[in-house]
Amino acid sequence: MEKKKPLILISNDDGVISKGMSALIRFLRPLGDIVVMAPNSPRSGVGCAVSMNEPVNYQLIRKDVGLSVYRCSGTPVDCIKLAFYTVLDRQPDIIVGGINHGDNSSVNVHYSGTMGVVIEGAIRGIPSVAFSLCDHDPDADFDPAGPYIRDIVEKVLAKGLPALTCLNVNFPAVKELKGVRICEQAKGVWVNEWENFAHRGNSQYYWMAGEFQHIDTDNENSDRWALANGYVAITPTTVDVTDRQLMNELKTWF
Residues numbered 159 to 178 that lie near a second copy (CB under 8 A) are 159, 161-162, 164-165, 167
| Residues between 53 and 112 with contacts to a second copy, criterion CB under 8 A | 53, 55-57, 77-78, 81-82, 84-86, 107, 109-111
Q: Rule CB under 8 A: is residue 184 a binding residue for a second copy?
A: yes
With binding defined as CB under 8 A, does residue 254 bind a second copy? yes
Q: Which x/- pattern, by CB under 8 A, does the window 22-41 give for a second copy? A: --------------------
**Using the rule CB under 8 A, which residue among 25, 34, 48, 129 binds a second copy?**
48
* CA gap 98, 131 in Å, rounded: 5
Binding flag, residue 180, a second copy (CB under 8 A): yes
Tell me the backbone φ, ψ of residue 213, rounded to 5 degrees.
-105, 110
CA distance 42 to 64: 24
CB of 65 to a second copy, least distance (A): 26
Residue of 166, 157, 91 whose CA lies nearest to 131 = 166
**Residue 45 neighbours by CB under 8 Å, 6+ apart:** 13, 111, 112, 113, 208
Judged by CB under 8 A, the stretch of 3-11, 28-36, 60-68, 189-197 that binds a second copy is: 189-197
- CA dist., res. 232 & res. 222, Å (int): 11
Asked if 198 touches a second copy (CB under 8 A), the answer is no
Report the distance separating Cα 45 and Cα 38, nearest Å.
Answer: 15
